[in-house]
Chain A
Amino acid sequence: KQEVTQIPAALSVPEGENLVLNCSFTDSAIYNLQWFRQDPGKGLTSLLLIQSSQREQTSGRLNASLDKSSGRSTLYIAASQPGDSATYLCAVRDEAAGNKLTFGGGTRVLVKP
């Protein structure tokens, strides 16, 4: 059964520093991996979707990489801002679970001004 882990569970950085968020998964037979952002008490905002055939996806200050063979994805946020403070979740779809998203526990990020 797929397990998705995000370490650390919480992260605090000063404004301007680059953020590096990690996501690891146990079953490499994935279709894709999706990164989400969640603000307190709100829903999930989709940030990036990386298909299994891709190595990375970029959107503005965000860059996500995928290394399927080692079961890892990294989300980079350049030049962090206080508005980047949120919980970041990764989720995978794999061959065993089909279209069902398996989520990691999330990393809670605080960017201090």
Chain B
Amino acid sequence: DTEVTQTPKHLVMGMTNKKSLKCEQHMGHRAMYWYKQKAKKPPELMFVYSYEKLSINESVPSRFSPECPNSSLLNLHLHALQPEDSALYLCASSQHYRVDQPQHFGDGTRLSIL
């Protein structure tokens, strides 16, 4: 079982909907990440939070809005998405935002935009 929990597992939404993805970890990790993965492609980094502060935004469109309300929780708020945003969204965490530490991934949320 993964120690990074993502909900929901699947989400179908229309282009005008607003929804949120949730990620939780209880390993005491202080760095958390959002990745997007299209079919048969490797994950692409979207955002990094370190100590609940946004450290990296990989030029992600504003229709994706991350939030880190506390050290265990990471949200991704979605609004006015496009069909090309359909993908597997993965959350990851590491003990600190340091190069020598492995990242641990959740099972992802499969997002489909109608």
Q: Which residues of A contact B (CB under 8 A)?
A: 31-32, 34, 36, 41-46, 49, 51, 89, 91, 93, 98-101, 103-106
Contact = CB atoms under 8 A, between A and B. Distances in A.
Q: How large is the interface on B (under 10, 10 to 19, 20 to 34, 35 or more residues)?
A: 20 to 34
23 contacts: A31-B100, A32-B100, A41-B88, A41-B108, A41-B110, A42-B107, A43-B2, A43-B4, A44-B90, A45-B2, A46-B102, A46-B104, A46-B105, A93-B99, A98-B99, A99-B97, A100-B45, A101-B43, A101-B45, A103-B43, A104-B42, A105-B41, A105-B42
Contacts of A45: 2, 105
Interface of B: 2, 4, 6, 41-43, 45, 48, 56, 88, 90, 92, 97-100, 102-108, 110
Contacts, number: 51
A43 B34 CA distance: 12
Interface of B is mostly: loop
Nearest to A6: B42
Contacts of B102: 34, 46, 49
Contact of B99 (A32, A42, A104, A106): A32
A48 B89 CA distance: 23
B20 to A, nearest CB: 18
Contacts of B104: 46
Nearest to B4: A43
A106 B37 CA distance: 13
Contacts of B106: 43
Contacts of A41: 88, 108, 110
A29 B95 CA distance: 23
A59 B100 CA distance: 18
A43 B108 contact: yes
A46 B108 contact: no
A42 B2 CA distance: 10
B100 A43 contact: no
A31 to B, nearest CB: 4
Given A43-B105, A43-B106, A44-B90, A99 B98 contact: yes
A31 B103 CA distance: 14
